[in-house]
Amino acid sequence: MIDDDLEIPLRCLFCKVPLQAAEDSSFHAGDLIRCLSCGEDSEYESVLEVAKEEAQDNVQRLLDKEMSKLAKKLFK
């Protein structure tokens, strides 16, 4: 299923580990998220931006894969 491949973790801008946040915490533009791994603060908006780009790459890859599968079916 496509959904399984689209889960994009928010990553620390410094060491790239997925950021851990408490279940009930929510972030807003301008917030800083403290990385538990390296202790640096990542700006929430930048973290989101990176995650969005990663998601778009993944979607594009999936589409390419599906399209070539479809093309093989159609033009056998």
Chain residues binding Zn ion by CB under 5 A are 12, 14-15, 35, 37-38
Nearer to Zn ion, 14 or 59 (CB): 14
Shortest distance (Å) from residue 25 CB to Zn ion: 17
Nearer to Zn ion, 46 or 68 (CB): 46
d(CA 67, CA 73): 10
Shortest distance (Å) from residue 61 CB to Zn ion: 26
Nearer to Zn ion, 14 or 65 (CB): 14
Shortest distance (Å) from residue 37 CB to Zn ion: 5
d(CA 18, CA 35): 9
